[in-house]
Structure 1
Amino acid sequence: MNFIWDEIGSCAGGAHFTLELKGSAARVCLMDADNFQAYRDGEEYEFHGGFWESSPADLVVPYDGYWFLVIDSNPGTIRYWLSAPSD
């Protein structure tokens, strides 16, 4: 499984993001800093999001924190556009 990631940074709980995917279906994961580190270390982690076969993927930040976006996909090219958060 290939993955790409993006550092979103500090966000307030309740902020909404819209993710546009281009390429193949993907698992979209919104993770706080601790879970992102666990993901990279191959340890157990939790995420918010799910599997999307088509756009748009709507994400809601569950609580105030520092956030990372991870997109897992099958081999191939994935492009994405993440909208600015809205309250």
Structure 2
Amino acid sequence: MVKIDDIKNSLRIDHSMDDSLIEQLIGTAGSYIVFAVDSSLTAEDLEGYKQFDWAVSLLAQHWYLNRQDATSAHIPVTVQALIQQLRGALWHADSQ
């Protein structure tokens, strides 16, 4: 599970003024990843996958850094690749 301190450490944020924003970004990124993988799942279904936490972290950081950018609608390629890995892992798990 991604925590606020993980994001702040990665972005080298040493204040708490944006904690509520970062918390919202983590939650929204988690929902985005879950629904991109399979809309019938929940975050709890993906908790055992390290790719899920990493994708949530990267997406939350991307959104935090690109708040003012009008072209920030693009999802980072690494996040897209992690989503694909999660889809494959879940498909493989279901087929066994």
Choose 1 or 2 for highest CA Rg: 2
Structure 1 and Structure 2 fold alike (TM over 0.5): no
Bin of the TM-score, shorter chain as denominator length: under 0.3
Task: Report which structure shows greater RCO (CA 8 Å, sep ≥6).
Answer: 1
| Structure showing the higher strand proportion among its residues | 1
TM (norm. structure 1) is: 0.25
TM-score using structure 2 length:
0.24
